[in-house]
Amino acid sequence: MYRYDQFDHQITAERVAQFRDQVRRRLSGELAEDEFRILRLQNGLYMQIHAYMMRIAVPYGMLSADQMRMFAHIARKYDRGYGHFTTRQNIQFNWLKLQDAPDILADLATVEMHANQTSGNCIRNTTSDEFAGVARDEIIDPRPYAEILRQWSTFHPEFGFLPRKFKFSITGATTDRAAIAVNDVGLQAVKNGQGEVGFRVLVGGGLGRTPFIGTEIASFIPWQHILTYAESIVRVYNEYGRRDNLYKARIKILVNAIGIDEFRRQVEEDWKFTKDGPCTVNQAELDRVAACFTAPAYEKLADVALPSDNKAFSNWVARNVKPRKVAGYASVVLSLKNAGIAPGDATEAQMDAVADLADKYSFGELRITHMQNLVLADVKQADLFALWEAAKASGLATPNIGLLTDIICCPGGDYCTLANARSITLAKAIDERFDDLDYLHDIGDIDLNISGCINACGHHHVGHIGILGVDKSGEEWYQITIGGNKGSPANIGKVIGRSFSFAQIPEVISRLLQVYVAKRDEGERFIDTLRRVGPDPFKEFVYATPVPEEAKLQMPDYELLAQGTPYDTPLYSPRF
Amino acid sequence: MQIIKNNTVVNDDWSVLRLQEGDAAETLVVPVGKTLVPLKVWLAQKTVLLHRADIGVWFASDERVEDLQDDVVKFSVIAVDFPKIGDGRGYTIAYRLRNRAGYRGELRAVGDVLRDQLFYMQRAGFDAFAVRADKDIHEALKSLKDFSITYQASTDEAQPLFRRVQRGA
């Protein structure tokens, strides 16, 4: 993985010092909250319902065992013993004090990490394929380019105050596991007729209130020109993106308003001044960065037959182990989707355990997936059984990767000030309703996504089943979409009809699954059946008879929810 | 009043003329003395203002460098207004003035100009800062030294870091 040189260390240290001084000025009252807000956001610090939340960058989802141990340390020392892995392959800590934030950044810097630009209207963390470097369908390893983009976008002086946040995603494989079509800019590696590497560039994808699939702005930008081309895209957006309406400020609205041809014309008009200029990436820089992403020291091994007499192990292998291009090795997905636990949450003990597993079995490296799970990418097949037993002991071996209970979920109304409805609590209710493992394996691959509001952090638009929290006169309701898909090809789901109460949702999901089971052909996944028969049979069955509320699911006490947990520390939370 | 110019706090006697409600760019009387006029006023009264040496022009954040293009050489001071911290269009206006229009005179940030934005402003091409009057300008000056190293090229550095130094040490 990428290792900092003296310049990366220097820039990171100077950033910590800068933020330390900004926090000092906030605490002394020199900076008002409305002046400080924009500064803390660019350091990943939010004010949530109960406390400050910090989102720490995990560039393109890769981290070392020592970096994971640092997360455990932060959870122990500054938080309540756990953290939350996000759909953008980052981690969030939810119970922090403002006073501690500079120390947390300083601790992170010791392991070459930061929280730069993980929030705010700037260029965010670039996401990528969680199987980058090991995927069988890979054309090139996208990580060196993702790192080059990270450095270019870090503290870019022109793009610190864009109309809205700006997200890049990059993939080097033929199957899109990085959801590039729903990012502001999506980059897909391609080779031209001469075998030269370049990128197909999509622009204007995104979810939120107005979901769009990205449109192709260029079919082939040679890799050397990727920074100058990206810079022209962001420059045109900075000038012309709407700033009068928060909900119309993303680049997708601009591209849609003026049309892709006009947008492309403006980008190319600007690009002609910088193309072939000094910001052209040279071979030396690509080589320097790429040298950090060489393959680990694989042993020469043959594929091995795995024990087949243990059903629980076999279930886990079937769902959580992925074949790799190197013989004798496999990739393992450690599930962070366990009944009763918020999707993506891990305790400090689990973080330490995972770090040890990475050291012992996978060359000391880990990846975070956009599905909010963890990956050990290079495990010897011969070690799988021992790894499974160790993972099981830490509660990380739930055999549900890609299944219904592998839910993508935002923090929702339990934590987030933006949410209309609870997400985590709903995920738990769904988990409890569908706890029969054989049934889940029979249903097979399905993406269930929950967002607590229209900002769509749970990516509900691209779930095969999407759940969106909506507000109806102060009460939480949920709207259901079906037919979304996150990539290859990406699709936006369609709303099935009027919304449901919290306690109705498990039954609604059950009905959707019943239609699938009745209509499916041999080997068809939920999404395949849905595409073949269309949404109508699903809609009709869901609304055919009144949907009962699940008795044990109580409506929340809204007053209590709004109060949060009181603290007497000044500036600890917006509510106190 | 005082501004930061070329990394020092200096006294300054330019005033910024802002159109008030009901003012028309064509008829507004531009006072005597060093005055930064709105781009609209310059474009409307150019034939008269051309003869004054004590006139500068300022851009609102939604105005375009292209509208001034051929006239940039006539000014010794151009300003860009930041209506609020979060409006980042001024950074691109500065970049375009320096890198596309070839402007070499003083480029001043006015409006909601606060300490923690100065470093980026300087990189994008500003060399003068009218720090908001309620803030300590000497304190603000410190922020120009927040970073000693930068990754990417901009107006202040034509080369990105990977061409400036031997990396990987």
Residue pLDDT, tens place only, B87-134: 999 999 999 999 999 999 999 999 999 999 999 999 999 999 999 999
Domain count, chain B: 1
Q: Are residues A372 and A449 in the same domain?
A: no
Q: pLDDT-based confidence at B169, cuts 50/70/90?
A: low
> Picking from A6-15, A403-412, A502-511, which range would have the lowest pLDDT averaged per residue?
A403-412
**Cβ atoms A338, A395 nearer than 8 A:** yes
Q: Is residue A189 part of a domain?
A: yes
Q: Could you list the residue range(s) of the whole structural domain that residue B108 is in?
A: 2-164
Q: Is the model's pLDDT at A507 over the cut of 70? A: yes
Q: Is residue B88 part of a domain?
A: yes
pLDDT confidence of residue A573: 34
The helix-helix angle for A226-240 and A260-274 (nearest 10°) equals 120
User: Measuring CA to CA, which residue among A64, A125, A147, A150 is closest to residue A362?
Assistant: A64
**Cβ atoms B4, B129 nearer than 8 A:** yes
> Picking from A92-96, A478-482, A533-537, B114-118, which range would have the lowest pLDDT averaged per residue?
A92-96
Domain count, chain A: 4
Q: Is the model's pLDDT at A366 over the cut of 60? A: yes
> Picking from A83-92, A283-292, A413-422, B4-13, which range would have the lowest pLDDT averaged per residue?
A413-422
Q: Are residues A141 and A281 in the same domain?
A: yes
Q: Are residues A351 and A417 in the same domain?
A: no
Q: Are residues A425 and A374 in the same domain?
A: no
**Cβ atoms A437, A402 nearer than 8 A:** no
Q: Are residues A272 and A326 in the same domain?
A: no
Q: Are residues A31 and A77 in the same domain?
A: yes
Q: Are residues A143 and A277 in the same domain?
A: yes
Q: Is residue A480 part of a domain?
A: yes
**Cβ atoms A482, A512 nearer than 8 A:** yes
Quick check: B86 and A161 CB within 8 A?
A: yes
Q: Is residue B160 part of a domain?
A: yes
pTM of the predicted structure, to 2 decimals: 0.92
Domain of residue B37, CATH code: 3.20.20
CB pairs under 8 A between A and B: 107
Q: How is residue B35 written in tokens? A: 């005055």
Q: Are residues A434 and A547 in the same domain?
A: yes
Confirm or reject contact between B161 and chain A (CB < 8 A): yes
Per cent of chain A over pLDDT 70 is 96
Amino acid at A537: P
- CA–CA dist A410, A424 (Å, integer): 7
pLDDT confidence of residue A221: 98
- CA–CA dist A177, B97 (Å, integer): 41
Q: Are residues A418 and A376 in the same domain?
A: no
Q: Is residue A37 part of a domain?
A: yes
* Residues A228-246, mean pLDDT to the nearest whole number: 97
* A243 interaction partners in chain B (CB closer than 8 Å): 87, 89
- CA–CA dist B7, B128 (Å, integer): 8
Confirm or reject contact between B69 and chain A (CB < 8 A): no
- A120 to chain B: closest CA residue: B86
Q: pLDDT-based confidence at A558, cuts 50/70/90?
A: low
- CA–CA dist A355, A362 (Å, integer): 10
Residue B46, SS3?
helix
User: Measuring CA to CA, which residue among A422, A395, A399 is closest to residue A409?
Assistant: A422
Q: Is residue A531 part of a domain?
A: yes
- DSSP letter for A442, please: H
**Cβ atoms A385, A316 nearer than 8 A:** no
Give all strands of the β-sheet with A345-347 in edge-to-edge order: A45-47, A52-56, A91-96, A82-85, A345-347
- DSSP letter for A212, please: B
* Residues A87-91, mean pLDDT to the nearest whole number: 88
pLDDT confidence of residue A567: 37
Q: pLDDT-based confidence at A37, cuts 50/70/90?
A: very high
pLDDT digits (tens, 9 = 90+) for A111-162: 999 999 999 999 998 999 988 998 889 999 999 999 999 999 999 999 999 9
**Cβ atoms A89, A374 nearer than 8 A:** no
Please list the alpha-helical segments (H only) found in B62-114: 89-99
User: Measuring CA to CA, which residue among B105, B103, B118 is closest to residue B9?
Assistant: B118
pLDDT confidence of residue A574: 34
- CA–CA dist A229, A206 (Å, integer): 20
Q: Which has more pLDDT, A559 or A119? A: A119
Q: Could you list the residue range(s) of the whole structural domain that residue A350 is in?
A: 311-393
The helix-helix angle for A384-393 and A348-361 (nearest 10°) equals 170
- CA–CA dist A74, A76 (Å, integer): 5
- CA–CA dist A212, A122 (Å, integer): 20
Q: Is residue A64 part of a domain?
A: yes
* Residues B35-62, mean pLDDT to the nearest whole number: 96
* A280 interaction partners in chain B (CB closer than 8 Å): none
User: Measuring CA to CA, which residue among A476, A467, A473 is closest to residue A501?
Assistant: A476
- CA–CA dist A208, A342 (Å, integer): 22
**Cβ atoms A126, A145 nearer than 8 A:** no
Which residue do the tokens 């989707």 mark? A337
pLDDT confidence of residue B168: 83
pLDDT confidence of residue B134: 94
Mean per-residue pLDDT over chain A, rounded: 92
Given A10, A35, A157, which is nearest B91 (Cβ)? A157
- DSSP letter for A181, please: G
Quick check: A159 and B88 CB within 8 A?
A: yes
Q: Are residues A415 and A336 in the same domain?
A: no
Q: Are residues A140 and A243 in the same domain?
A: yes
- DSSP letter for A100, please: G
Q: pLDDT-based confidence at A559, cuts 50/70/90?
A: low
pLDDT confidence of residue A292: 95
- How many CB atoms are closer than 10 A to CB B145? 11
pLDDT digits (tens, 9 = 90+) for A333-359: 999 998 778 889 999 999 999 999 999
Residues of chain B numbered 47-66 and touching chain A (CB < 8 Å)? 64
User: Measuring CA to CA, which residue among B29, B30, B34, B31 is closest to residue B11?
Assistant: B34
**Cβ atoms A507, A550 nearer than 8 A:** yes
Quick check: B87 and A243 CB within 8 A?
A: yes
Q: Is residue A128 part of a domain?
A: no
Q: Are residues A387 and A413 in the same domain?
A: no
Q: Is residue B169 part of a domain?
A: no
Q: Is residue B123 part of a domain?
A: yes
Given B64, B163, B169, which is nearest A5 (Cβ)? B169
Q: pLDDT-based confidence at A576, cuts 50/70/90?
A: very low
Q: Is residue A505 part of a domain?
A: yes
Instruction: For an interface test with A, give the residue of B65, B66, B89, B164 to mutate (most A CBs within 10 A).
Output: B89
Q: How far is B51 from chain A (nearest CA, A)?
A: 32
- B128 Cβ neighbours under 8 A, 6+ residues apart: B3, B4, B5, B6, B77, B106, B107, B108, B109
* A160 interaction partners in chain B (CB closer than 8 Å): 88, 91, 117, 120
pLDDT confidence of residue A554: 63
Q: Is residue B7 part of a domain?
A: yes
Q: Is the model's pLDDT at A566 over the cut of 50? A: no
* B116 interaction partners in chain A (CB closer than 8 Å): 22, 35, 39
Beta strand A475-482 pairing with A494-495: antiparallel
- B153 to chain A: closest CA residue: A279
Domain of residue A177, CATH code: 3.30.413.10
